[in-house]
Structure 1
Amino acid sequence: MLVTEILPVDKRRSKVIFDEDFTLVLYRGDLKRFKIEEGQLFSEESYQELLHEVLFKRARERVLFLLKASDKTEQELIRKLKDGAYPKEAIDYAIGFLKEHRFINDEDYGRRYVEYNSRRKSEKQIRYELQRKGLDKEVIRDILEEQPVDEEAQIKAYIRKKCPSLEEMDRKERSKVIAALARKGFSYEAVSRILGGIYDDD
């Protein structure tokens, strides 16, 4: 590989750009140790040495640090490593290490997420957020079948908080409530149904 450019990122790190748009972020000590210089070739042998002796360990430490800070899915960790300019080999190694030692499990993450959010978020919102975090649609569906979201209770609680008396709510206020709940992912049908009978059980 040809080193086409070396650009400083901060006082300690530099972005090393190789031909074919391949980029690494390395410390100045790495550049010196592996004799990485602008305009020079970087051999495959040296690259493998850099991977196994430096980047694999660094990527592993990075994901362990991220998990210590907060629970994350596999896809979220991969995005974080990509943002840090780790190469695919180092990302695969770090994720493989986490799976081998059972530090990550997306299904378990999804169950915990639903359990925590099922009383304050709509099913639609939970589905969207879990998909954005990288969970498979079928996995999300199975989790929600196991742990249904009580949307009716959430809608009732929101309406009672915003409007203590339905009798005093005019059409404009009703529309505002429906729009607010719709933005949270609740369906118009569910909200309208509950607005019609919210105090029937009082």
Structure 2
Amino acid sequence: MTVTEILPVDKRRSKVILDDDFTLVLYRGELKRYSIEVGNEIPGEVYQEIVKEILCKRARERVLFLLKSSDKTEQELRRKLKEGYYPQEAIDYAIDFLKEHRFINDQEYARRYVEFNSRRKSERQIQFELQRKGLDKEMIGDTLKEQPVDEAAIVREYIRKKRLFPEQMDAREKSKVMASLGRKGFSYEAVSRVLGEIFVDD
């Protein structure tokens, strides 16, 4: 592996770009310790030492730090590490460490997420958000079967908070309400059912 470029990230760290499209982020002292300069070769055993002794441990500390602020899915953590230019070996090591010590569990994450959001978000919106976080469609579907979203109750609460008065609304205003709730992901069936309960046509 040949060092093709070294670019500063901040005052203390630099990106080391290698000829086989690998990029590492190291501190200045580490660059000196391993004689990393543009044009120099990094022997395979030296690269492995850098990964195992420095970057794996640093990746582990990074994900532990990220989990202090909020729960995250495996894919979110992998994405964060990739954005930090950690090599795949270090990413896998950090994620395996979290799983081994039960710091992450996507299924439990899905359950907590649905439980927290099932009284304010539509099922479709929850599905979309969990998929963006990297969760499997089947896992999301199973979780929603265990903890169904009562969309009708959320729609009723929405109407109450908006202080809508059925007797004062015409067909156009009713359509606007339906469109607004549809954009939030609520099913046509759920919205129609609730509006049918609330709105009485002239």
Same-fold call, TM cutoff 0.5: yes
Residue of structure 1 in register with 2:100 after alignment: 100
Query: Is residue 59–residue 94 contact of structure 1 (8 Å, CA) maintained in 2?
Result: yes
Q: Write the distance in 2 (CA, Å) between the matches of 1:36 and 1:144.
A: 52
Residue by residue, what CA displacement relative to the aligned partner does 1:76-121 show, whole Å, maximum 9, x if unpaired? 0000000000000000000000000010000000000000000000
Residue by residue, what CA displacement relative to the aligned partner does 1:151-190 show, whole Å, maximum 9, x if unpaired? 0000111122224310101223212211111111012232
Partner SS state of residue 110, structure 2: helix
Task: Pick which of 17-26 and 83-92 moved more.
Answer: 17-26
Residue by residue, what CA displacement relative to the aligned partner does 1:119-143 show, whole Å, maximum 9, x if unpaired? 0000000011111111111111111
Q: TM-score, normalised by structure 2?
A: 0.95
Query: Is residue 2–residue 42 contact of structure 1 (8 Å, CA) maintained in 2?
Result: yes
Structure 2, gaps ≥5 residues long: none
Q: Write the distance in 1 (CA, Å) between the matches of 2:87 and 2:120.
A: 39
**Alpha-carbon RMSD:** 1.3
Task: Pick which of 162-171 and 177-186 moved more.
Answer: 162-171
Q: Write the distance in 1 (CA, Å) between the matches of 2:152 and 2:43.
A: 62
C-alpha displacement of 1:61: 0.1
Instruction: Map 1:83-122; keep pairs closer than 5 Å.
Output: 83-122=83-122
Residue by residue, what CA displacement relative to the aligned partner does 1:28-52 show, whole Å, maximum 9, x if unpaired? 1111111111011111110011011
Q: Write the distance in 2 (CA, Å) between the matches of 1:129 and 1:156.
A: 23
Partner SS state of residue 15, structure 1: strand
Instruction: Map 1:35-46; keep pairs closer than 5 Å.
Output: 35-46=35-46
Query: Is residue 163–residue 169 contact of structure 1 (8 Å, CA) maintained in 2?
Result: no
Residue of structure 1 in register with 2:145 after alignment: 145
C-alpha displacement of 1:191: 1.1
Query: Is residue 152–residue 193 contact of structure 2 (8 Å, CA) maintained in 1?
Result: no
Residue of structure 1 in register with 2:172 after alignment: 172
Using the aligned pairs only, state the percent identity: 73
Instruction: Map 1:24-39; keep pairs closer than 5 Å.
Output: 24-39=24-39
C-alpha displacement of 1:199: 6.9
Q: Write the distance in 1 (CA, Å) between the matches of 2:102 and 2:109.
A: 12
Q: Write the distance in 2 (CA, Å) between the matches of 1:40 and 1:96.
A: 33
